[in-house]
Amino acid sequence: MSHHVLLCRDLHPAGRALLEARADITLTTLHDPPPPQFHAALKDADAVLCWLERMDQAALDAAPKLRVCARYGVGFDSVDVPACTARGVAVMVANGSNDLSVAEHAMMLMLAIARRAVQFDARVKSGGWWPEDLGKGGKLAMADLAGRSVLVVGYGRIGTRVARLCQAFGMRVLVLDPAYTPARLAADGMVPARGLHAALAECDVVTLHCPLRPETRHLLDAAAFAAMKPGTVLVNTARGPVVDEAALADALRAGRVMGYGSDVLEVEPPPRDHPLFGLPNVILSPHLAASTEEGLARMARIAAQNILDVLDGRPDPAMMVNPGLLGA
């Protein structure tokens, strides 16, 4: 029996080789397809590997044969999971593939903001040298991470790694995640946060690693920024909508936030007149924190194997977003 697998972008050789090694797999590769092209290609697909494409009801209606929707990564906010479950479509994610890469990227952003790396680089390259206001509490002041308090929001695979890296930097680590008891967090050497606003008031650094859900959309809003300790370093490698970007822009201008380092935005790709673009204390990357050479290879291998496992009738429950299908 032949299976038609739709790739919405070219796949890293580490994963493509797994699919091409199977005589019963036929591959179709698109290149970031717009919805009409995506839906048309789903007509004969038994499996689809999505990047940022939306697997919603319209996509499912266009895919009568679909058995598995695999994500190239661990996020699945672009997938209508209840609709997939109702149709019997397994939703698979590449758990464990990108936590190392994203955690390192978060630390890079944290350090770059704290040490004004981008601003100093631009100053030197433009012919400048020692900033006149350095050491005088001016806008170019730097900060050590050691001895600071950091709030890690979300204690999953990535958040756990970031928390340990922060400990290695000599930071006091607070964790906010309702899925973990205070006793568990304390056993890991972390400080259980007493609540979002209380933790924001005492922490020098905030790093976001929570999934995007209705309760986390605009988790950091105007009220949260008002509660925040002045001069906070804010890092976001979770999802753009976790932060209210209009409120963030106001907080950056007011000095409530020292700087913002983010791999994600509310709208991706962003409009050219995005309010954060004109601010010097913002460092952005284009949603590629997981995309190191090693990370891409890990995600590709796991995503390809997830597809094969479902088509072979033995999906890995640890990779399933809707494992209830196994019982059905």
pLDDT tens-digit readout, 93-152: 999 899 999 999 999 999 999 999 998 999 899 999 887 766 665 555 788 999 999 999
Residues 74, 148, single domain; the answer is: no
Residues 136, 235, single domain; the answer is: yes
Residues 111, 76, single domain; the answer is: no
Residues 261, 123, single domain; the answer is: yes
Active site residue 218: no
Q: DSSP readout, 18-56?
A: HHHT-TTEEEEE-SS--HHHHHHHGGG-SEEEESS--B-
Residues 218, 128, single domain; the answer is: yes
CATH code of the domain containing 183: 3.40.50.720
Nearest Cα to 168, choosing from 111, 85, 84, 241?
A: 111
pLDDT tens-digit readout, 233-272: 999 999 999 999 999 999 999 999 999 999 999 999 999 9
Residues 310, 219, single domain; the answer is: no
Residues 184, 246, single domain; the answer is: yes
Q: How many domains does the chain have?
A: 2
Active site residue 239: yes
pLDDT tens-digit readout, 211-239: 999 999 999 999 999 999 999 999 999 99
Residues 12, 111, single domain; the answer is: no
Residues 158, 232, single domain; the answer is: yes
Q: Please pick, among 20, 197, 253, 268, the residue that the annotation labels catalytic.
A: 268
CB 102 within 8 A of CB 81: no
Residues 86, 142, single domain; the answer is: no
Q: Please pick, among 3, 12, 287, 301, the residue that the annotation labels catalytic.
A: 287
Domain that holds residue 319: 3-97+293-327
Return the structure tokens found at 22.
């199977």
Residues 122, 132, single domain; the answer is: yes
Q: Please pick, among 239, 256, 298, 301, the residue that the annotation labels catalytic.
A: 239
pTM, full prediction: 0.86
In one-letter notation, the amino acid at residue 74 is: V
Between CA 282 and CA 260 the distance in angstroms is 5
Active site residue 3: no
